[in-house]
Amino acid sequence: MATVGVKHHQMFIDGQDVDSDQVFEIRHPATNELVVTMAKGTVEHADQAVESAKKAFESGVWANKPKEERAAIMREIGNRIALELEEFIEDEIICNGATVRQATGFHVGLASGHFLYFADQAEQYEFERDVPTVAYPTMSMNRVRREPIGVCAAIVPWNFPLVLGIWKIGPALAAGNSIVVKVDEKTPLSLLRLARLAHECGVPPGVFNLVSGEGKEVGARLASHPDVGKVGFTGSTAVGREIMKLASGTVKKVTLELGGKAPTIVLPDADLDITADGALFGCMLYSGQICESSTRILVHESIHDELVERMVKRASTIKLGDPADYDTDMGPVVSERQRDRIVDYMEKAKADGATVALGGNAATVEGFEGGWWIEPTIFTDVTNDMQIAREEIFGPVMVVIKYSTVKEAIAIANDSSYGLTAGVWSTDYEAAVEVGNQLQAGTIWINNWHQVDPALPFGGYKQSGAGRELGEGALDEYTEAKHMHVDLTTSLDRHIFDILLSTPAE
């Protein structure tokens, strides 16, 4: 039942609002105040959404629409996102605690451009191509077609729901698929707004459906559903493994963007002023709740103390406060559970012998005592075998590891089960690129961080994922390749059928 006096939101299935008997309560991370409720979906709702998506796909109402028309509708959606920027920002920050500056620059600010990129791909992608072939054994024509898979499922995390949702929704729609989006129960509002907006812009009913629900029930059902041909998931590595297992039952296509423990190597010649600010930006943006954050800072022994001193001084100026205030630098973490998890990691680090150079505790913010806050934290005297250096914390916690040689730094950086992103800070670009070439990660940033371009692939090595999102190949993940062979030989004696039929035809 919805709470009296609090706005209630429903799911969006087959072009209509769909309610449930149960609700999720969504609380503002800065205050713990109940802000809205959301219908709590069930397996039955997931099945209803898949059935609607399947029906829409088989009707051809979107899949058979000329690609130019799909592109035009998607461009209208992308432009509407930009026009309704403030509404989308409000939807994000009341749910996930992002500051208004971060939401404007990243959480929502990237959304319109990324969606418009996929609108262009809907028109420019090579859905058909002829392949030159030799005349032996027979003359033929060969064509490769990329066809939509059918029903796709997107399981989206709470930290960047709009942008990370678009990374799945955009290529799915561009390729002609129908899609069912499973939102995280903590942050459903921006994607719910997008689903309704898409419907207003001309996406037919059933093509874009949105459900909520527990991941272990609704997410698991979508991953295992026999009528779902593709699953795109962003989240933890542990859940990603389960998604892969569930999808294997029907051998569906899977794209996984999972956890990270990104290393950044600071070479001895690095500009320390730029590096200090850049490393903090890479680690602590959005309170460190980004899978590709640079959380392991590997610093050469010759500059270690000086760089740590600068980072501590700069991090001490980070202002915690009201996420809606433009003067606020860092907001709360998303939930009480997340705060307690981060505190537990910090306590274990202290017990393991790491030194607290800054922070190291939960924080209290005046006027927001009910919220879930963590101090900007820097640990030194960290070794790569410590739990805090090996596991994803998802908080504003930087660990600094000292190294002696570049070879040693590369070995430490690659000594991880993750491989999503990595980076190098240096004024010697050739040396930085040489180091970057040896790092095992899907994206390497040199002298910057968080630079994500929709035209370039994003994804991880090792247990950071499978497949790639974004880039020219993004639609490959949402299409099936079909080879069409047309033999041009008209004379029986020119065929090679005699491999089987040795007796000449009469």
Q: Which residues pair with 141 in a beta bridge?
A: 486
| Alpha-carbon Rg for the chain in angstroms | 25
Residue 156 has pLDDT above 70, yes or no: yes
pLDDT on residue 495 = 85
Instruction: Return d(Cα 403, Cα 407) in angstroms, integer.
Output: 9
Predicted confidence (pLDDT) at residue 135 exceeds the cutoff of 80: no
Q: Tell me which residues are annotated as active site.
A: 257
| Cα 458 from Cα 348, distance rounded (Å) | 32
Query: What DSSP element (H or E) covers 89?
Result: helix 85-96
User: Whose structure tokens read 């994804």?
Assistant: 459
SS3 readout for 146-204 = EEECCEEEEECCCCCHHHHHHHHHHHHHHHCCEEEEECCCCCCHHHHHHHHHHHHHCCC
* pLDDT, average across residues 89-115: 95
Q: Which of 414, 500, 505 is nearest to 461 (CA)?
A: 414
Q: Does domain 7-42+66-258+460-483 have CATH number 3.40.605.10?
A: yes
- Under 8 Å CB-to-CB from 438, ≥6 apart: which residues? 410, 414
CATH 3.40.605.10 location in the chain: 7-42+66-258+460-483
Q: What is the pLDDT of residue 128?
A: 96
CATH 1.10.3720.10 assigned to 262-446: no
Per-residue tokens: 95: 């749910």
443: enclosing H helix or E strand: strand 443-446
**Within 13 A of 460's CA, how many CA atoms are on the CB side?**
28
Q: In what order do the strands lie in the sheet with 34-39?
A: 7-9, 34-39, 23-27
Q: Is 505's pLDDT higher than 80?
A: no
Q: What's the residue count for the chain?
A: 506
**Is the separation of the CB atoms in 260 and 418 below 8 Å?**
yes
Residue 268 pLDDT greater than 60, yes or no: yes
- Answer yes or no: are the C-beta atoms of 481 and 140 closer than 8 Å: no
- In the 8-state DSSP scheme, what is residue 29? T
Indicate if the pLDDT at residue 5 is higher than 80: no
479-487 and 421-425 beta bridge pairing:
unpaired
User: Given phi > 0 = left and psi -120 to 50 = alpha, else beta, which region is 260?
Assistant: beta
Mean pLDDT of the chain: 96
- pLDDT per residue over 174-210, tens digit each? 999 999 999 999 999 999 999 999 999 999 999 999 9
Residue 298's DSSP bridge partners are 265, 401
DSSP SS3 for 445:
strand
Strands (E), 341-478: 355-358, 362-363, 373-374, 377-380, 397-403, 421-425, 443-446, 465-466
What are the tens digits of pLDDT across the range 353-404? 999 999 999 999 999 999 999 999 999 999 999 999 999 999 999 999 999 9
* pTM: predicted TM-score of the whole model, two decimal places: 0.95
Confidence of residue 502 (pLDDT cuts 50, 70, 90): confident
Please give the average per-residue pLDDT across 451-471, as a whole number.
96
CATH 3.40.309.10 spans which residues of the chain? 262-446
pLDDT of residue 3: 62
Percent of the chain whose predicted confidence (pLDDT) is above 90: 93
Strand order in the sheet with 11-13: 16-18, 11-13, 208-211, 178-182, 151-155, 230-234, 253-257, 465-466
335 DSSP assignment: -
Instruction: Find tokens 């698929």 and name the residue.
Output: 177
